[in-house]
Amino acid sequence: MPNAENNKKKLFIKTWGCQMNVYDSRRMADILRPFGYEVSEEPEDADMMILNTCHIREKATDKVFSELGRMRRLKDKKEAEGGQMLMAVAGCVAQAEGDFIIERAPYVDLVFGPQTYHELPEMIAKLTGAYGQDRIVSTELDTQTKFDALPEENNKQGVTAFLSVQEGCDKFCTFCVVPYTRGGEFSRSVEQIVNEAKALIDNGAREITLLGQNVNAYHGEGKDGKTWTLPLLIEELAKLDGLDRIRYTTSHPRDMDMALIEAHRDIEKLMPYLHLPIQSGSNKILKAMNRKHERDMYLDIIADLRKARPDIAMSGDFIVGFPGETDQDFEDTMDIVRQVKYASGYSFKYSARPGTPAANMTNLVREDVKAERLAALQNLINEYQLDFNTKCIGMTMPVLFDRADKAGDKLHGRTAYNQAIHVPGPARLMGHSANVIITGAFANSLTGTLELQESVLKSA
Ligand code: SF4
């Protein structure tokens, strides 16, 4: 391993997409740190630039190429001055379009998918060292090897941290590229996850969100050598001193079993907030999407969750304008929102992803109809979100503070329901929980005041 101190290099990573990508970008930095790479917020003069891409959004590939065009100018400038800048494309667009990127962007040195970034040091050595390799495309889908190779000790994320426990998907929703870009479902072992959680806690984490494309399909090797599911994993993590809060995302309704529902009742550290996508409220559209569940099953799960943990707050994902969606189908989605009364929600217009079954469907919904439906849905979700937040006014809630402003007299934190909250208070409360009286509510945040200011300050 090279001497990192004598060999400092700048690493710039631009990340698109979900928390899994944010996690992956951090881990790329962890892997490269011992080789002298320090993360820089600015792309100028970087020695290595990585665009960690997402394939979910519309025109994802076009966006990558337009960003590459901008970044290329920086590479050209550095090379004109006699330097070297390695340019890499990572993530799901890299996985899906690796060869196309290499062909169309000759200045890109390296293309690698979500399951091969642990090989970054070797890939860089091949590009810069005696091998003299020109360019590399690395898009294997072996998840096991990646997790075995990730360093545990470097993982510094702060008060709230993310920990990848599961990757990939076997569900094959007809609109989604994930099963093709991330591969089949894979779960890390409990031992590996607990070790990583301990390292995060040692580095200041008080809240850990367990990540997975289908996180509640988790089925990793447990401490007894048997297969453990997510509730068992959560129970084990809840035993760790110093860890106050556990969350998990993203879940699929089909994997929401009673043991997991009861974990929300029994495990105090498991926060009363769940993101559970449904995508559509119409059984006909759910079938066309190959979601493998119906609306009643989804509503039954939520009823069971609320029985187990009456204050649980729900969040969901919705797609409007899927091929064949009629006014009535869309009304069924609006009805789900009214029944569930989400505390937050994410909604998108359907757009075809090349290579997915839905991309070949006919009976497309007109763009103006999609836009109209999306606006109506978002208005409705926002109403419930504001209503949920407004009902919190006057309550006293524990808040975990994760940021202080520059002046040091205002804090940012999160409630148990994952609401962002701003509170006047001293910076030394960062990383601590304190009770806050909620005084104001907006669509996306709350305001409040510390309940026991004096005693909290003394104990902090
Ligand atoms: S469950 Fe469906 S939407 Fe979620 S990752 Fe798998 S295929 Fe994609």
Ligand 1 atom closest to Cα of residue 252: 1
Return the ligand 1 atom nearest residue 289 CA.
2
**Ligand 1 center to 289 CA (angstroms):** 10
Phi, psi of 162 (to 5 degrees): -115, 145
User: What's the start-to-end Cα distance of the chain, in Å?
Assistant: 41
CB 230 within 8 A of CB 216: yes
Q: Which atom of ligand 1 is nearest to the CA of 177?
A: 8
Distances, alpha carbon 31 to alpha carbons 49, 117, 404, in Å: 15, 9, 29
Contact 75, 85 (CB under 8 A): yes
CB 193 within 8 A of CB 237: yes
pLDDT tens-digit readout, 384-421:
999 999 999 999 999 999 998 888 789 999 999 999 99
Q: Which own/partner pairs from 292-297 qualify as long-range (CB within 8 Å, at least 24 positions apart)?
A: 292/171, 292/254, 293/253, 293/254, 295/332, 295/336, 297/253
Q: How far is CA 420 from the centre of its chain?
A: 17
Q: How far is the CA of 291 from the centre of ligand 1 (A)?
A: 8
250-270 pLDDT, tens digit per residue, is 999 999 999 999 999 999 999
Place of tokens 């320090």: 38
Q: How far is the CA of 171 from the centre of ligand 1 (A)?
A: 6
- Structural domains present in the chain: 9-142 (3.40.50.12160), 152-271 (3.30.750.210), 283-388 (3.30.750.200), 396-459 (2.40.50.140)
Task: Say which residues have a Cβ less than 8 Å from residue 298's Cβ, sequence separation at least 6.
Answer: 253, 276, 278, 336
Residue 199 Cβ contacting ligand 1 at under 6 Å = no
Query: Are 90 and 112 contacting, i.e. CB atoms less than 8 angstroms apart?
Result: yes
Q: Does ligand 1 come within 6 angstroms of the Cβ of 172?
A: yes
454 falls in which pLDDT band (50, 70, 90)?
very low
Q: Coil, helix or strand for 129? A: coil
Ligand 1: centre distance to CA 272 (Å): 23
* pLDDT given for residue 97 in this prediction: 85
pLDDT at 380: 98
> Using CA positions, which residue lies closest to atom 1 of ligand 1?
171
Q: How many CB atoms lie within 10 A of CB 145?
A: 12
Q: In terms of residues, how long is the chain?
A: 460
Q: CB of 171 closer than 6 A to ligand 1?
A: yes
* Overall average pLDDT of the 40-45 stretch: 92
Residue 206, ligand 1, Cβ within 6 A = no
Dihedral sign (CA 247, 248, 253, 257): negative
Ligand 1 atom closest to residue 213's alpha carbon, by position in its atom list: 5
Q: Are strands 410-414 and 420-424 parallel, antiparallel or unpaired?
A: antiparallel
pLDDT in tens, 133-185: 678 888 877 766 777 777 765 667 789 999 999 999 999 999 998 898 888 99
**Percent of all residues in the chain with a pLDDT value above 90, rounded to a whole number:** 72
In the 8-state DSSP scheme, what is residue 307? H
Please, what is the average pLDDT of the chain? 91
DSSP state of 444: S
Say how many Å lie between the CA of residue 169 and the centre of ligand 1: 6
Closest CA to ligand 1's atom 2: 173
Q: What is the mean pLDDT of residues 70-92?
A: 92
